[in-house]
A and B are shown apart, each in its own frame.
Chain A
Amino acid sequence: MCGGGSDKGPEEAESRLALAQQSAIYYNRFQDVFGKFEDMAIADASAQFSNQNYESAMGAASNAAQGVYEQGQIDLNRAAYNRGFDPSSGAVQNESAALMAAKSRGMGLGASSAGIANTDRGFQMMGNVVNIGQGLANESMQGQIDVAQTGVDRVSRQAQQDFMRSSSLQNVAGTATGVAAGYGLQQRTV
């Protein structure tokens, strides 16, 4: 019966409690300072799929595509009338209709692509939130600007091709080089 020790184990080092307290203070501070940003990222990710976001992205893309084709059309009409082409002639009507169709395609597919990009962005943001939760936040934040610019670059290239393909338009305005330079397709940036 000698000794009579208790059930309790050895004494815990005082520094262990101090370290745990330090961790608790860091945790509380993280929640105070950064916790709301995590909440914000989660709210943003869910809001990315809202109709408002889709309408805004698709509307902007459609307008950008329209702007790219607009200047070329104005130049085409001016060149045709300056050279005395009859607007009711088959050549002018066909070219005009073809370019309108190309413009329609540019606007429609540009808007569609922007909508899909919005969905992609929503999934990317959800993935980022998951990464934050998993402590993999290093690659979490990426800008949208480069994504949007890629869309505008693509529609600009498409518009240039559409105008370059139109051989009779080249004859109206002069040489092929003249067409490309003369139409001065709007190079947009976002």
Chain B
Amino acid sequence: MSNFFAEMMSGLNPESQMAAGQFFQTSQMQRVDPYAYLGMDPRDNPGDKLYADIIRAQTADYMRKFAPVEDALAASITPTGTTSLEGDLTRTREAVMGAGLNIQGQQNRSMERLGVADNSGYSNQNANISALVGGLNDTRLRDSDRRDALLTGTTTALGQKARSGA
């Protein structure tokens, strides 16, 4: 079984290996023995004790699996947006400028095939900068929207639940 697991893991790319490793590691869940208090004196409240075990197991499961995700989500909120903004801005810059270079190359090749000089460089540059500015503004707006969604969505539900003590 372990050989099969090792073989399967070795066939995966590094990212999938990490995800699969996490998956199998986190699957080590805590079980509750339903018969732990069988035969106990009914005046010692074996039913209550077993209920308490279940509640403890549920809480441990929640703390192990979900609390870290809640922490990460809350930590991602900044005063103006989320911590993902920088990454999104970088990707937007790369996408717009990369597309500009790509298209400039296509245009050059197309003109060369016709034996015509390509004079579109300057106007293309302007168009690229204009698209880049629009793209960066859009990226910031969407990050701000994302923050609002987090504040009024998931985290609000958590707050309500925490306040109600459920």
B72 within 8 A of A: yes
Number of A-B contacts (CB under 8 A): 230
Q: Is the CB of B142 within 8 A of A120?
A: yes
Pair B62/A133 contact, Cβ less than 8 Å:
yes
Q: Which residue of B lies closest to A45 (CB)?
A: B69
Judging by beta carbons under 8 Å apart, are A17 and B128 in contact? no
Q: Does A179 contact B (CB under 8 A)?
A: no
Contact present for B157 and A134 (CB under 8 Å): yes
Minimum distance in angstroms from A165 CB to a CB of chain B: 14
Q: State whether A131 touches B154 (Cβ < 8 A).
A: yes
B127 within 8 Å of A (CB atoms): yes
Q: Do residues A27 and B57 form an inter-chain contact, with CB atoms below 8 A?
A: yes
Q: Is the interface of B mostly helix, strand, loop or mixed?
A: helix
**CB atoms of B103 and A107 under 8 A apart:** yes
Q: A11-B43, A104-B102, A104-B124 are in contact. Are A31 and B95 (CB under 8 A)?
A: no
Q: How many residues of A contact B (CB 8 A)?
A: 70
The answer on a CB contact under 8 Å between B88 and A100 is: no
Partner of A16, one of B47, B69, B96: B47
B106, A100: Cβ atoms closer than 8 Å: yes
CA distance A24 to B34 in the complex (A): 5
The distance in angstroms between the C-alpha atoms of A44 and B18, with both chains bound, is 11
Beta-carbon nearest neighbor of A109 in chain B? B135
Are A17 and B47 closer than 8 Å at their CB atoms? yes
Point out the residues of chain A lying under 8 angstroms from B19, CB to CB: 43-44, 46-47
In whole angstroms, how far apart are the Cα atoms of A112 and B22 in the complex? Answer: 30
Q: Is the CB of B66 within 8 A of A101?
A: no
Selecting from A122-130, A142-150, A170-178, the interface stretch reads: A122-130
Contact residue among B23, B42, B65, B91 (Cβ-Cβ distance under 8 Å from A58): B91
* Residues of chain B lying within 8 A (CB to CB) of residue A151: none
Q: A12-B46, A88-B114, A111-B95 are in contact. List 15 more A-B contacts (CB 8 A).
A: A17-B37, A17-B42, A17-B50, A43-B23, A47-B19, A58-B95, A93-B116, A101-B128, A104-B102, A105-B130, A108-B100, A108-B131, A126-B154, A130-B158, A134-B158
- The 7 residue pairs across chains A and B that have the minimum distance between CB atoms: A133-B66, A16-B47, A108-B96, A108-B99, A97-B120, A20-B50, A101-B127
